[in-house]
Amino acid sequence: MKPRIGITCARGDAAPDRYTLHSGYVEAIAAHGGLAVLLPCLPEADPAEYLDAVDGLLLSGGGDLDPAHFGEEPRVWNGRIDPVADVFELELARRFLAAGRPVLGICRGMQVLNVAAGGDLYQDLREDAGTTLQHDQQAPPWYGTHAVDVAEGSGLRAILQEGRVRVNSFHHQAVRRVAPGFLPAARAADGVIEAIERPGGAFTIGVQWHPERMHPACRASRRLFAAFVRACSGRDAASA
């Protein structure tokens, strides 16, 4: 049986009554042997029921988290928030982490993972971290515009089999304080944390880039999805 992988959905700016998810997430999971299951957020949704419905969790990209979830007031550059999605995804992440089930966080999903586990975020990289590296690229999404150095000895390094990869970049926020139990797994040249992982258990990795937009032309992205789907199949639970 194919591993069932739950993928969170956003709700659109222009159409708040529609769930939205870029097809790249579904295609990447399907291409690596997983069965994609979309997880809609509802105010009354019980994340515990999704724990039973799927084998692993893919936290997808989207808007900004309400900084109240890491104890801050919103500053001027904080973007659009969806309070229902925030609560749903944070609780979903906590449930999967507590159960020791595979989790992959992508972009906002990595940020959700970090905050769910007790870390926090830069609300805006230019304002709060003073970086001049371009993290909101103008190039096409399949194209990696900046490099990341993958931490030696990390699970991510073992999966990607490369110490430096070029990644796309569509974010103005980033992980600031890494959650307890997690480690930074990759950094950009300006020091911005581009990946995190929780060692010692099931596959638990967050990446700040969008491998679902790169995978057809990027071996490292394919290796990441392959390792995640394999972990969700239960055959290789310690691969991360």
Give the residue with the Cβ less far from Mn ion, 55 or 120: 120
Q: Is 22 a catalytic residue?
A: no
Closest CA to 178 of 111, 129, 132: 111
Non-local (6+) Cβ contacts of 45 within 8 A are 88
The burial class, CB within 10 Å (0-12 / 13-18 / 19+), for 236 is: middle
Give the residue with the Cβ less far from Mn ion, 101 or 135: 135
Query: Smallest distance from the beta carbon of 194 to Mn ion, in angstroms?
Result: 6
101 binds Mn ion (CB under 5 A): no
Instruction: Report how many residues bind Mn ion under the rule CB under 5 A.
Output: 2
Non-local (6+) Cβ contacts of 56 within 8 A are 3, 4, 5, 6, 34, 96, 101, 102, 103, 104, 203, 228, 229, 231, 232
169 binds Mn ion (CB under 5 A): yes
> Catalytic: which of 212, 215, 218, 232?
212
Non-local (6+) Cβ contacts of 157 within 8 A are 150, 151, 163, 185
Q: Is 72 a catalytic residue?
A: no
Q: What are phi and psi of 122, to 5 degrees?
A: -75, 125
Non-local (6+) Cβ contacts of 108 within 8 A are 59, 60, 61, 62, 63, 64, 65
Query: Smallest distance from the beta carbon of 13 to Mn ion, in angstroms?
Result: 22
Q: What's the angle, vertex CA 67, arms to CA 65 and CA 71, rounded to 5?
A: 140
Q: Is 210 a catalytic residue?
A: yes
> Catalytic: which of 210, 215, 218, 232?
210
123 binds Mn ion (CB under 5 A): no
> Catalytic: which of 9, 32, 41, 107?
107
Query: Smallest distance from the beta carbon of 221 to Mn ion, in angstroms?
Result: 15
Choice from 69, 135, 213, 223 touching Mn ion (CB under 5 A): 135
Q: What are phi and psi of 124, to 5 degrees?
A: -155, 125
Give the residue with the Cβ less far from Mn ion, 55 or 194: 194
Query: Smallest distance from the beta carbon of 21 to Mn ion, in angstroms?
Result: 21
Stretch that binds Mn ion, among 48-56, 83-91, 109-117, 132-140 (CB under 5 A): 132-140
Catalytic residues: 107, 210, 212
- Chain residues in the site for Mn ion (CB under 5 A): 135, 169
